[in-house]
């Protein structure tokens, strides 16, 4: 089960980071390869919200992935899972979860991105490749958040 954690201290306040990470419409600004976000369910706050993320593959094709928020605490924590059943991802993924933790730190914010994926069938043999790709994605996402928050700070890799 590939589990990857990446951290970075950003010069923005926890509230500023929260406003970006908790709104799916902001994903194209900071999440790698995101072309656009569609079908965002409104109302009821962040928890329970659903959306479709349209990602661009390396060869330029668009691929759609559906998500829903499983937990949210304003300016502190945001978790979401990919909806796998009945999608092309079902062939190799059993589950995929992303957690974002936001903590005030020295006038800025420590942001932790954690991704945990459970692979299905023979795909489990490629866990090391999935872990490597996920590390790249999370590092790019943190750089994107850094860009959006307007600064550069130190980063720490874990996992």
| Stretch 83-105: mean pLDDT | 90
14-21 vs 127-149: helix crossing angle, rounded to 10: 120
pTM score, two decimals?
Answer: 0.85
- Residue 78, judged by CB atoms within 10 A of its CB (0-12, 13-18, 19+), counts as buried
> Model confidence at 154, in pLDDT bands (50, 70, 90)?
very low
3-state SS string for 52-109: EEEEECCCCCEEEEEEEEEEEECCCEEEEEEECCCCHHHHCEEEEEEEEEEEEECCEE
- What are the pLDDT digits (tens) for 9-56? 999 999 999 999 999 999 999 999 999 999 899 766 678 899 999 999
Domains by residue range for the chain, with CATH: 3-158 (3.30.530.20)
């Amino acid at each position: 089960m590939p589990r990857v954690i990446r951290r970075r201290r950003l010069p923005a306040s926890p509230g500023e980071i929260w406003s970006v990470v908790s709104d799916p419409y902001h994903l194209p600004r900071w999440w790698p390869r995101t072309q656009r976000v569609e079908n965002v369910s409104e109302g009821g706050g962040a928890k329970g919200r659903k959306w479709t993320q349209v990602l661009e593959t390396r060869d330029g094709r668009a691929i759609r992935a559906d998500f829903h928020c499983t937990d949210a605490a304003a300016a502190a924590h945001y978790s979401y899972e990919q909806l796998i059943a009945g999608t092309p991802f079902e062939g190799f993924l059993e589950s995929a979860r992303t957690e974002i933790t936001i903590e005030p730190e020295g006038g800025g914010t420590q942001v932790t991105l954690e991704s945990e994926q459970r692979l299905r069938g023979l795909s489990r043999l490629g866990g090391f490749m999935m872990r490597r790709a996920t590390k790249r994605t999370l590092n790019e996402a943190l750089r994107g958040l850094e860009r959006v928050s307007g600064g550069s700070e130190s980063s720490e890799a874990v996992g």
